[in-house]
Structure 1
């Protein structure tokens, strides 16, 4: 389905795009970042936090953790401090890039298994599809943040892959 090279490109793209959104949001006030703009998670801050925590959950699944929700707490409000968020997001992006850097095509074969938050519903998915979901999910929600930033008067960078290469 996908290759390790694709994962490396997308991990780099993820870091670049997250930095673009952060830079655009730097000029907004705390209140503007948390203003409910009617998006699925409401605000820029909540949507960015969802991405931060969802990245951790999906990466943990790819690394074989069947119950990542037992140790990774998904929160729309944490971190609430912008400086803390930027530090933690950069570390998470580095974690994703480190994962992708050592990945081989063989690492994307087989399946991953995890349990939903209810602890009983077992999900089995191909590793390559789970990796694709990591990057697709990021792109989806970053698009929402991009729109909210634009509505707030901020200007994130272009999102086209061709702008990066």
Structure 2
């Protein structure tokens, strides 16, 4: 009985610490690890993109400093990724078709600092202006950016 009471008190103390922010450092470490595991940004292509435009874009992306890999994702692959990400919301998955998702380049960088250099420098604007590009997406790159993003758009 005494051991159970101690366990309950310890659990309540931990919850209290988490509530006042003292345990956020563990959460921060997890976020940092996730950010550094795969620093990536995405380039979405227009539906009418030509083979030559794709080749030019891929060449540009591979020429960026600190690029580790440039991977092309077909609509079918994008749809599979979408279905995996939203598998718990069948109604949403059913509302989206493979044809509604764009072909995409996923640009994997050496670090979040490298992605930040692309985002904050001229490269991202240059990419957005290349023929065949619909849009670019750079996710959060710092713990604070991630928190702000998910406060606005919780899952």
Q: TM-score range by the shorter chain?
A: under 0.3
- Give the structure-1-normalised TM-score: 0.26
Q: Which has the higher strand share?
A: 2
- Give the structure-2-normalised TM-score: 0.27
